[in-house]
Amino acid sequence: MLVGLTTLDGELLASEKYILGGRVSPDDVLDDLDAALNRLLARVGRFRGDITALGFCTTGVMDVDAGLIYMNHNMGWAEVRLRELAMVRLGLPIVIEMDANAAALGEHWRGAAHGLEHFVYVIVGTGIGAGILLGRRIWRGARGAAGEVGHTVVLPGGPLCGCGKHGCLEALASGLAIQRKATAALKLGRATILESLEGDISAQAVADAARGGDSVARQIMDEAGYYLGLGLSNLVTLLDPQALVLGGGLGWGAFDVLEAPMRRAFDEHLNYWADRKMLLTRAALGEYAGLYGAARAALDLAPGHLQQEVRR
């Protein structure tokens, strides 16, 4: 859990990170959050009354307007009325937001997408998802399900995805896909520096090995980047955004390794790619994008005069 205090202008005053461990019931999470807020306030010499609102971002399926989380697999949550729980436990108004959308808001407010009207923030981590900003507003879809770029099919009949379909972008270019390919390469006995690693091989380790010139790792990262470019070229063909901002553990942490094969896929699959002048960039805020974005989302709960102040 990453918790922080920002000003109404998005200056980060203090933050801390802690492991949730087994304490993942909504009540446990709010208890821990309560204590963390007080520690942060003490550190910067402020008080509870100085907090205008709380933004909370997470993965899962949710009704943002209702403050209701239908389903969060990581936490094991189902039908959690987080807004009401937070009111009672913390005495604070709360806005919830999906991870990719929050990260998009964060990068727009204080990061790589500042000043843009239309862009897509793409999380590439264990899974792949996107936050779509059109006309400076999150596009959520008719049922809140927009942005699932990880489950667009880029290779019909391709590898099985966690969702049960075949050939999803997520099954070809996510951290899990990279791990799976590395494990398969080892089983095949291919000569690679990855052999020397102990335990499960992480996608980050594969990216590191690729940086080090390991040819097996390079091939795996190359393929992942190429498919990422293929899936995102379809997104760009449909939406014509001003920019793609890559975030998440791999999108941010391995952008240097993924960029060249992505651009190769754009060259092959995206009409007028050279003329588009579309920005393709690494997120500026790294793992803090969601924190800034949750804070930005929370401003929608601020009294009118405060909103005026911050909406530049």
Active site residues: 99
In the DSSP assignment, the letter for residue 166 is B
Burial of 251 per CB tally in 10 Å (0-12, 13-18, 19+): buried
Which CB atom, from 6 or from 152, has the smaller least distance to a copy of itself?
Answer: 152
Least distance to a copy of itself, CB of residue 140, Å: 8
Least distance to a copy of itself, CB of residue 240, Å: 3
Q: Which residues pair with 12 in a beta bridge?
A: 6
List of residues contacting a copy of itself (CB under 8 A): 117-118, 130, 132, 134, 139-149, 151-156, 163-165, 230, 233-235, 237-242, 268-269, 271-272, 276, 278
Which CB atom, from 19 or from 142, has the smaller least distance to a copy of itself?
Answer: 142
Polymer length of the chain: 312
Which CB atom, from 135 or from 304, has the smaller least distance to a copy of itself?
Answer: 135
Give the type of residue at 258. L
Three-state DSSP class for 244?
A: strand
Least distance to a copy of itself, CB of residue 160, Å: 13
What does the DSSP assignment read for 255-272?
A: HHHHHHHHHHHHHHH-TT
Q: How many helices (H) and strands (E) does the chain have?
A: 12, 12
Judge whether 59 and 68 are in contact, CB under 8 Å: no
Q: How far is CA 168 from CA 90, 116, 175, in A?
A: 40, 29, 13
Least distance to a copy of itself, CB of residue 73, Å: 14
Residues 6+ apart with CB under 8 A from 270: 233, 236, 237, 276
Which CB atom, from 148 or from 259, has the smaller least distance to a copy of itself?
Answer: 148
Which CB atom, from 65 or from 272, has the smaller least distance to a copy of itself?
Answer: 272
